[in-house]
């Protein structure tokens, strides 16, 4: 692989005494879609949250190992965490619009960063909404409340919200789990376009979704990284038996 | 007797008891209103009293109460809201935090007359403020703190945690999340709590007995270091210490105080229900 | 791309640090205030303990003009009035809480709850005023007592002042009982009435006890209303008919006498001493009640 965008090295993570991740090492390639999948409890969401240090918000946890973004340790003591989170955006499983209008939602991250230039804001607004395939649907409703949008639209709004900050990487945690198939399709399609520009890590909500979109895939079982390979390889010729069993539906 | 008859009687009994609880409330308001309405006039509210309070108006007492309430607000709101933000957003579950909560419970239970003693000892005497609006407002402010803190904390905790997570994920610091999302969303609840606390402060007599209240002052207070008349104290004195005080004036004074307090209550209730309907979560 | 430049970030961080420090200080201020209050009470009240012999302080006569500072009649006055108040308020409060939570139709609930809030907002001096002009004469006429200003009148008024507290905490306690309890009772063939009194209320009894305790704390600390209707006679209320005679509470004593007292005199210190007793009493009651609430919250709601 070219220089990995994100390098995860020997990472272990525990809630209290419960180790949910054990000695995980993997590299995330830039400008691609990497998929973390596996049965629940595997540690995928925890690993995702470690990458943008969202786990800092939870008390009583411990972490070992390193995570590097563009070669720099994100857990070093002089990491500026808010800046890190602007470079590594996250979309959550349930659509979580912030109170306010569509415009306010998309531009919230920029407001936090202190960007005030009106023309630049408008430009970012349109670009992000277009990238998440929402622009056409909301361009006349930018100053309506975000909570008035449908579930699928709200989730694409959340994606636009993260994209507005032009992050280096985008982390998505089961982003389509609450959505109908049409909205799911729209989100997946936009991901295909987005990977040209962004490094994407996604926890899919079904194996089928994983197989549809993965360039690279990592299979997690009980906190352990079992296998990591390119998408086609992992789903058609898995090397580990456990991977094969899961992918073919023998358990899960 | 069949069980269902027992139930029907039982429910009726409960209803009667509830009525017995509510009826006197109406009785109080009704009596005061009926007997005091005759005294209410523009003059009553805006004129100074004379003839040993038996004639004229209650203007200075009204002004005094408003000034005291304002002073209380100025002190209690920043401390109360700030303290609540700490409790709801920053404090971890340590023994120190539990001490803080214990202190709040304690403050809310202290009798109002003990607050008066404290105000006397600390503000009037030790800090040499004398009987003054300042001493009274500070005393009332500390008394109002627990009310504000309790309602404000409830309001802050009601805001979904997800907002905090989303704000953080977009590069927001804890304070930015509080300032731009949590606090604005909790504001109606906080304001309701503040109003409820202030209406209590406006109606209290015991804390101001020795810290600020005067029975008769020839003119309105000129500075925070002046004593002042105040409605609750005024009512107390004219109903217990002044012989020959016309009943109508007594009831009229009570009516004004009641109207002030009840209208604040109404405003708080309206704010609460209006914003509850408009919530986006 | 929008990662802030180092210096900008540091500037914003510094401002944030100041704000957070300020909030932290304000958070700790409540502890400071409690300590301050206790300190000042001690400062002005403790001298009474060494200026007045203990036998005097715990004596049965409170006549400051004759240097008699027996606090017993005041203590007993407060206790008697409070107990009367609770005996009245407890059944009224629990019944109303049950009615509002379990029995009342929606339209009744919509009227009752605001009314109870209104009651909570009525200033104590207004209630005392009403008590003086309406309740006391009523009691005098219906019960034939020489004066309407009695312990009972005070207790009655206090009961109503404590009701909002009792009702709201009891309502919360009832609310916390899972619906499954009620469903189980009904499924076994009990009527709603039986379910309420044999299942729900017993399950909520610790919360209801807490409610009553908090009401009690409120009643002990009440000043103006009691002062205006209990007659202010500092006698020892020992016999049962004391219920219908005047008495003096600790709170009323302080309120009535502090105004005429010289700063630094023994009387002055003695009144602060009574303040200390009140502080400690209400502290104990409220802390015990609050501990019960915290414990329940920790365990997740029941019993």
Distance (Å, whole) CA A147 – CA A105? 10
Distance (Å, whole) CA C267 – CA C200? 51
pLDDT at C71 over 90: no
Average pLDDT over residues C47-73: 82
Contact criterion met (CB < 8 Å) for B122 and C40:
yes
Give B168's contacts in chain A (Cβ within 8 Å).
54, 57, 85
pLDDT digits (tens, 9 = 90+) for B158-191: 999 999 999 999 999 999 999 999 999 999 999 9
pLDDT digits (tens, 9 = 90+) for C165-189: 999 999 988 988 888 888 888 888 8
Q: Is A44 in contact with A22 (CB distance < 8 Å)? A: no
Chain B: give the shortest CA distance to residue A47, in Å: 15
Q: Is B109 in contact with C286 (CB distance < 8 Å)? A: yes
Same domain, B23 and B47: no
B225-C22-C43 Cα angle (round to 5) = 50
CATH for A55: 3.40.50.300
The whole domain housing A32 covers 6-97+171-247
Average pLDDT over residues A48-73: 90
Same domain, B192 and B272: yes
Q: Which of the 8 DSSP states describes residue B218?
A: S
Beta-sheet strands, E only, within chain B? 49-50, 55-56
Average model confidence (pLDDT) for chain C?
86
Instruction: Compare CB distances from B83 to C30, C103, C124 and report the shortest one's residue.
Output: C30
Structural domain includes residue A139:
no
Same domain, B89 and B31: no
Distance (Å, whole) CA C96 – CA B249? 35
Structural domain includes residue A232:
yes
Chain C residue with CA closest to B198: the answer is C121
pLDDT digits (tens, 9 = 90+) for A168-201: 999 999 998 888 888 888 888 888 888 888 999 9
The backbone torsions φ and ψ at residue A171, rounded to the nearest 5 degrees and listed phi first, read -105, 130
Q: Which two tokens stand for residue C41?
A: 């009470």
Amino acid B159: pLDDT: 93
Distance (Å, whole) CA C286 – CA B103? 11
Q: For chain C, give the secondary structure using H, E and C.
A: CCCCCHHHHHHHHHHHHHHHHHHHHHHHHHHHHHHHHHHHHHHHHCHHHHHCCHHHHCCCCEEHHHCEECCHHHHHHHHHHHHHHHHHHHHHHHHHHHHHHHHCCHHHHHHHHHHHHHHHHCCHHHHHHHHHHHHHHHHHHHHCCCCCCCHHHHHHHHHHHHHHHHHHHHHHHHHCCCHHHHHHHHHCCCCHHHHHHHHHHHHCHHHHHHHHHHHHHHHHHCCHHHHHHCECCCCCCCCHHHHHCCECCHHHHHHHHHHHCCCCCHHHHHHHHHHHHHHHHHHHHHHHHHHHHHHHHHHCCCC
Higher-pLDDT residue of C260, B208: B208
Which domains are present in chain C? 55-299 (1.10.3720.10)
Higher-pLDDT residue of B65, C239: B65
Q: Is A161 in contact with A130 (CB distance < 8 Å)? A: no
Chain C: give the shortest CA distance to residue B47, in Å: 22
pLDDT at C302 over 50: no
Same domain, B86 and B18: no
Chain A: give the shortest CA distance to residue B276, in Å: 14
Contact criterion met (CB < 8 Å) for C2 and A80:
no
Quick one: which H or E segment has residue A33? Answer: strand A33-37
pLDDT at B273 over 70: yes
Distance (Å, whole) CA C116 – CA C89? 13
Residue C8: pLDDT band with limits 50, 70, 90: low
Chain A residue with CA closest to B186: the answer is A99
Q: Which two tokens stand for residue A218?
A: 């990592």
pLDDT digits (tens, 9 = 90+) for C132-155: 999 989 988 888 888 888 889 999
Residue A85: pLDDT band with limits 50, 70, 90: very high
Contact criterion met (CB < 8 Å) for B167 and A98:
yes
CATH for B123: 1.10.3720.10
Taking the CA atoms of residue B174, residue B180, residue B182 and residue B185 in that order, the dihedral angle to the nearest 10 degrees is 180
pLDDT digits (tens, 9 = 90+) for B32-41: 999 988 888 8
**Chains B, C: CB contacts under 8 A, how many?**
264
The whole domain housing B52 covers 40-277
Q: Is A11 in contact with A64 (CB distance < 8 Å)? A: yes
Mutate which of A59, A88, A90, A112 to disrupt the B interface (most B C-beta within 10 Å)?
A112
Same domain, B112 and B249: yes
How many domains, in total, are found in chain B?
A: 2
Residue C9: pLDDT band with limits 50, 70, 90: low
Q: Which two tokens stand for residue C294?
A: 């915290």
CA-based nearest residue to B186, from B84, B101, B69, B267:
B84
Quick one: which H or E segment has residue A28? Answer: strand A18-28
Same domain, B20 and B143: no
Instruction: Compare CB distances from B280 to A52, A92, A145 and report the shortest one's residue.
Output: A145
pLDDT at C119 over 50: yes
Evaluate the CA torsion angle C154, C160, C164, C168 in order and state its sign: positive
Amino acid C63: pLDDT: 83
Q: Is C271 in contact with C281 (CB distance < 8 Å)? A: no
Same domain, B115 and B186: yes
Same domain, B195 and B114: yes
Average pLDDT over residues A76-105: 91
Q: Which two tokens stand for residue B256?
A: 């004004």
Amino acid C81: pLDDT: 92
Contact criterion met (CB < 8 Å) for C33 and B210:
no
The backbone torsions φ and ψ at residue C239, rounded to the nearest 5 degrees and listed phi first, read -90, 170
Give C125's contacts in chain B (Cβ within 8 Å).
203, 205, 232-233, 235-236, 257
pLDDT at C268 over 80: yes
Structural domain includes residue A136:
no
Contact criterion met (CB < 8 Å) for B100 and C31:
yes
Amino acid B148: pLDDT: 95
Structural domain includes residue A129:
no
Q: Is C123 in contact with B203 (CB distance < 8 Å)? A: yes
Least confident range of A195-199, A246-250, B195-199: A246-250
Amino acid C2: pLDDT: 47
Q: Is C212 in contact with C194 (CB distance < 8 Å)? A: no
Q: Is B193 in contact with B148 (CB distance < 8 Å)? A: yes
Average pLDDT over residues C197-223: 89
Q: For A168-190, give the secondary structure using H, E and C.
A: CEEEEECCCCCCCHHHHHHHHHH
Amino acid C303: pLDDT: 41
Same domain, B7 and B61: no
pLDDT digits (tens, 9 = 90+) for B127-159: 988 889 999 999 999 999 999 999 999 999 999
B78-117: string of b/e by CB count within 10 Å (b at 16+)? ebbbbbbbbbbbebeeeeebeebbbbbbbbbbbbbbbbbb
Name beta bridge partners: A189: none
pLDDT at C102 over 90: no
Same domain, B108 and B205: yes
Q: Are strands A224-230 and B55-56 parallel, antiparallel or unpaired?
A: unpaired
Instruction: Compare CB distances from A112 to B163, B164, B171 and report the shortest one's residue.
Output: B171
How many domains, in total, are found in chain A?
A: 1
Q: Is A17 in contact with A34 (CB distance < 8 Å)? A: no
Residues of A with CB under 8 A from a CB of C: 80, 82-84, 86-87, 109-110, 113-115, 165-167
Name beta bridge partners: A224: A221
B185 touches chain A (CB under 8 A): yes
Average pLDDT over residues A217-235: 88
Same domain, B156 and B216: yes
Q: Which two tokens stand for residue B132?
A: 């003054």
Same domain, B119 and B219: yes
Average pLDDT over residues C23-43: 93
Amino acid B145: pLDDT: 95
């Amino acid at each position: 692989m070219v220089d990995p965008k994100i390098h995860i090295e020997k990472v272990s993570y525990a809630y209290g005494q419960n180790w949910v991740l054990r000695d995980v090492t993997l590299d995330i390639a830039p400008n691609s879609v990497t998929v973390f999948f596996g049965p629940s409890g595997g540690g995928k969401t925890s690993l995702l949250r470690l990458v943008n240090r969202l786990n800092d918000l939870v008390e009583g946890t411990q972490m070992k190992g390193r995570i590097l973004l563009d070669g720099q340790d994100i857990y070093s003591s002089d990491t500026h965490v808010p800046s890190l989170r602007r470079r590594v955006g996250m979309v959550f499983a349930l659509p979580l619009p912030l109170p306010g209008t569509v415009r306010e939602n998309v531009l919230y991250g920029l407001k936090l960063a202190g960007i005030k230039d009106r023309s630049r804001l408008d430009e970012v607004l349109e670009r992000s909404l277009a990238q998440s395939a929402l622009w056409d649907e909301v361009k006349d409703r930018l100053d309506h409340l975000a909570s008035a949008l449908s579930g699928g639209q709200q989730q694409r709004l959340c994606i636009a919200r993260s994209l507005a900050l032009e992050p280096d990487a985008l982390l998505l945690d089961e982003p389509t789990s609450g959505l109908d198939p049409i909205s799911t399709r729209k989100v997946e399609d936009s991901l295909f376009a987005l990977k040209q520009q962004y490094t994407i890590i996604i926890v899919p909500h079904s194996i089928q979704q994983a197989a549809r979109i993965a360039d690279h895939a990592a299979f997690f079982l009980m906190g352990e990284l079992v296998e990591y390979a390119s998408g086609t390889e992992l789903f058609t010729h898995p090397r580990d038996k456990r991977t094969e069993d899961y992918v073919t539906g023998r358990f899960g | 007797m069949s069980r269902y008859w027992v139930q029907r009687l039982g429910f009726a009994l409960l209803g009667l008891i509830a009525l017995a609880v509510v009826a006197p409330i109406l009785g109080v308001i009704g009596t005061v209103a009926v007997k005091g309405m005759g005294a209410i006039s523009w003059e009553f509210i805006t004129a100074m009293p004379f003839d040993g309070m038996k004639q004229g108006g209650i203007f200075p007492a009204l002004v005094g109460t408003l000034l005291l309430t304002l002073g209380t607000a100025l002190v209690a709101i920043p401390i109360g809201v700030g303290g609540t933000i700490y409790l709801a957003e920053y404090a971890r579950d340590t023994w120190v935090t539990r001490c803080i909560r214990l202190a709040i419970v304690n403050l809310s239970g202290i009798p109002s007359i003990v607050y008066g003693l404290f105000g006397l000892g600390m503000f009037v005497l030790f800090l040499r403020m004398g009987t003054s609006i300042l001493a009274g407002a500070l005393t009332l402010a500390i008394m109002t703190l627990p009310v504000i803190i309790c309602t404000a904390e409830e309001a802050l905790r009601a805001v979904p945690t997800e907002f905090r997570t989303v704000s953080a994920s977009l590069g927001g610091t804890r304070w930015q999340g509080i300032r731009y999302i949590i606090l604005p969303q909790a504001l109606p609840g906080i304001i309701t709590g503040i109003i409820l606390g202030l209406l209590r402060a406006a109606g209290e007599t015991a804390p101001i007995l020795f810290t600020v209240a005067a029975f008769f002052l020839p003119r309105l207070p000129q500075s925070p270091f002046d004593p002042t008349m105040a409605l609750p104290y005024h009512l107390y004195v004219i109903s217990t210490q002044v012989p020959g005080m016309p009943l109508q004036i007594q009831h009229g004074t009570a009516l004004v105080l009641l109207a002030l307090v009840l209208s604040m209550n109404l405003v708080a209730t309206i704010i609460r229900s209006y914003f509850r309907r408009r919530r986006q979560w | 791309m929008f990662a802030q430049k180092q210096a900008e970030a540091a500037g914003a961080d510094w401002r944030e640090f100041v704000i957070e420090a300020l909030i932290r200080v304000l958070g700790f201020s409540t502890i400071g205030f409690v300590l301050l209050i206790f300190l000042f009470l001690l400062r002005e009240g403790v001298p009474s303990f060494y200026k007045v012999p203990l036998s005097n302080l715990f004596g049965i006569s409170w006549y400051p003009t004759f240097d008699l500072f027996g606090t017993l009649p005041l203590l007993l006055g407060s206790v008697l009035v409070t107990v009367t108040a609770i005996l009245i308020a407890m059944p009224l409060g629990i019944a109303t809480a049950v009615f509002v939570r379990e029995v009342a139709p929606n339209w009744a609930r919509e009227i009752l709850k605001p009314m109870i809030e209104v009651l909570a907002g009525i200033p104590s001096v207004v209630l005392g005023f009403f008590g003086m002009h309406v309740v006391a004469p009523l009691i005098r006429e219906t019960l034939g007592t020489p004066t309407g200003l009695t312990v009972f009148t005070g207790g009655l008024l206090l009961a109503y002042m404590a009701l909002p507290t009792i009702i709201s905490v009891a309502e919360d306690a009832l609310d916390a009982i899972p619906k499954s309890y009620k469903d189980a009772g009904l499924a076994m063939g009990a009527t709603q009435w039986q379910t309420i009194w044999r299942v729900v209320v017993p399950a909520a009894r610790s919360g209801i006890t807490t409610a009553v305790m908090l009401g009690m704390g409120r009643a002990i600390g009440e000043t103006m209303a009691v002062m205006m209707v209990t007659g202010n006679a500092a006698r020892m209320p020992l016999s049962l008919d004391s219920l219908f005679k005047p008495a003096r509470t600790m709170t009323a004593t302080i309120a009535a006498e502090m105004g005429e007292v010289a700063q630094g005199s023994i009387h002055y210190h003695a009144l602060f001493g009574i303040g200390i007793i009140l502080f400690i009493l209400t502290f104990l009651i409220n802390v015990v009640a609050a501990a019960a609430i915290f414990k329940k919250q920790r365990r997740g709601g029941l019993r």
